[in-house]
Amino acid sequence: MHDQLRGIGAVAAESGLPVSALRFYDAAGVLRPAWSDPATGYRWYSRDQVDQARLVARLRQVEMPLAEIAEVVAGRHRPVDALAVLERHQRTLEERFAAAREQLSDARALLADPPATRFEVSAGDLARALAAVRYAVSSDPAWPALTGILLDCSDGGLRLVACDRARLAVASVSVRHLDGPPVRVVAPLAALDALPDGADRGADGPVLSVELRVDRVVLGAPGADPSTAEPVAGEYPDYRALLRASWVREVRIPASDLVSRVVDGLPVGDGTPDDEGTPADDGRPDVVAVLLRDHGVDVVRPSVPGAVTFDRAYLLEALAAIDGDDVTLALDAVRQVLAVACLTRPDDRSLLMPVRRRQDSTNLSARPRSR
């Protein structure tokens, strides 16, 4: 009998179906072998089944569903029925191809003309947000994206973000008539500085029209032609991950009180060695150590347990950027990053990295992350 049958390996070679596929179609009842050895389970196929396997291989190449393949194989002796299944599947493929061609055409159009996100914003609100973050813009040409301000329009609002890898500032702005998908672009600082300052911050103050695209930023000021700028190239750090830090010991304090403590606080450095026997920033006037307590904030020596040291000028700039009488401070339990926020706008905040020993090189983003 074996002289008239072919083993599964031979059928695989002649039909183009892998051995694993032949086993699958056997289990599915689509193409059962003529005989299986009860002792070894080895499958044997007739010549007619080789032709069936070739047919299954062709149908498999055109992604015909298993149920339809079984229908064709079962109706191979009724060509009219089998051909009807083929015609039905061909129509399905043609419809899918037409839909795919339309999607590819849309994709080409989007690449040629990226979608725009448009909205309006109060000139005063934008000026306030710009003032709150501008101090943290980097001037390092090695990180070009950080020399601009990230405009993140998502979640129904606009965020301005600035980062120089040692500090990060975020400010939110309400938008009107938002139309378009979420978008993130880095606007050149000069383009934002050229906008009107929005001195009238009332509800009836100047309104700016904004259009953000991956390839351009368009800003329209009242009574003036819109200005167009090309976004700054490069990747921007994942600032959202930094905002999701494990904040602890949040305290509230008058901004003027904290400024006085930072300016007139205790001299930094008491000569106490750290765990490695090195004096901790002894005698450095450019840094200040702060200790967040339940009742407030103390300016202390770095050797005080729980104290964290920060750049004095950076902390003062962050406090100056806060537009309000009171501020809240919070410390990240993991990185010891200090968050400085306006009490009336808690989502607007500045993050400061702690100052480590001179041999350390800690920053907010050792490498900007992908958008």
Determine the average pLDDT of the residues in 267-287: 48
Collapsing DSSP to helix, strand or coil, 86 comes out as: helix
**Any idea what the CATH number is for the domain that residue 213 is in?**
3.10.150.10
Question: What is the bridge-based pairing of β-strands 216-220 and 227-229?
Answer: antiparallel
Residues 224 and 248 in one domain: no
CA distance 338 to 330: 6
**Which segments of the chain does DSSP mark as H helices, in order?**
8-15, 19-27, 47-61, 66-74, 79-112, 123-133, 189-193, 239-243, 255-264, 312-321
Q: What is the pLDDT of residue 363?
A: 58
Task: Indicate whether 357 belongs to any domain.
Answer: no
More reliable by pLDDT, 186 or 225? 186
Strands 43-45 and 35-36: antiparallel
366 located within any domain: no
Is residue 369 included in any domain, yes or no? no
CA distance 325 to 346: 13
| 3-state class (DSSP) for residue 41 | coil
Q: Do 343 and 320 share a structural domain?
A: yes
154 and 66 inside one domain? no
Assess whether 141 and 221 both reside in one domain: yes
Question: CB-based contacts of 325: which residues, under 8 Å, 6+ apart?
Answer: 254, 255, 256, 343
| 20 and 92 belong to one structural domain | yes
User: Of 62, 88, 110, which residue constitutes the final position of a domain?
Assistant: 110
Q: Comparing C-alpha atoms, which of 120, 93, 253, 101 is closest to residue 179?
A: 120
At position 83, the amino acid (one-letter code) is L
Residues 50 and 88 grouped into a single domain: yes
Same domain, yes or no: 30 and 14: yes
In angstroms, rounded to a whole number, what is the distance separating the alpha carbons of residues 285 and 281? 9
pTM of the predicted model as reported, rounded to 2 decimal places: 0.64
Last residue of a domain, one of 89, 110, 131: 110
Token pair in block for residue 27: 């289990």
Q: pLDDT tens digits for 214-223? A: 889 999 877 7
pLDDT of residue 202: 47
The span from the CA of 162 to the CA of 200, in Å, is: 25
Q: In this structure, what are the phi and psi dihedrals at residue 137, rounded to the nearest 5 degrees?
A: -70, 140
| 106 and 141 in a common domain | no
Last residue of a domain, one of 92, 110, 128: 110
> At 354, is the pLDDT very low, low, confident or very high (cuts 50, 70, 90)?
very high
What is the chain's alpha carbon radius of gyration, rounded to the nearest angstrom? Answer: 34
The answer to whether residue 265 scores a pLDDT higher than 80 is no
Cβ atoms < 10 Å from Cβ of 56: 25
On whether both 14 and 29 belong to a single domain, the answer is yes
The residue among 295, 288, 310 whose CA lies nearest residue 356 is: 310
* Statement to judge: residues 224 and 280 lie in one domain: no
Query: Structural domain of residue 151, as residue ranges?
Result: 117-229
Residue 199 tokens, joined: 């001195």
Q: Could you tell me if residue 368 is inside a domain?
A: no
As for how many domains the chain has, the answer is 3
Q: What is the pLDDT of residue 352?
A: 94
Across the chain, mean pLDDT equals 83
Of residues 359 and 102, which shows the higher confidence score? 102
Q: Are residues 97 and 77 part of one domain?
A: yes
Q: Would you tell me how many other CB atoms lie within 10 Å of the CB of residue 234?
A: 14
Assigned domain for 140 exists = yes
Whether the CB-CB separation of 54 and 15 falls below 8 Å is answered with: yes
- Report the amino acid identity of residue 232: V
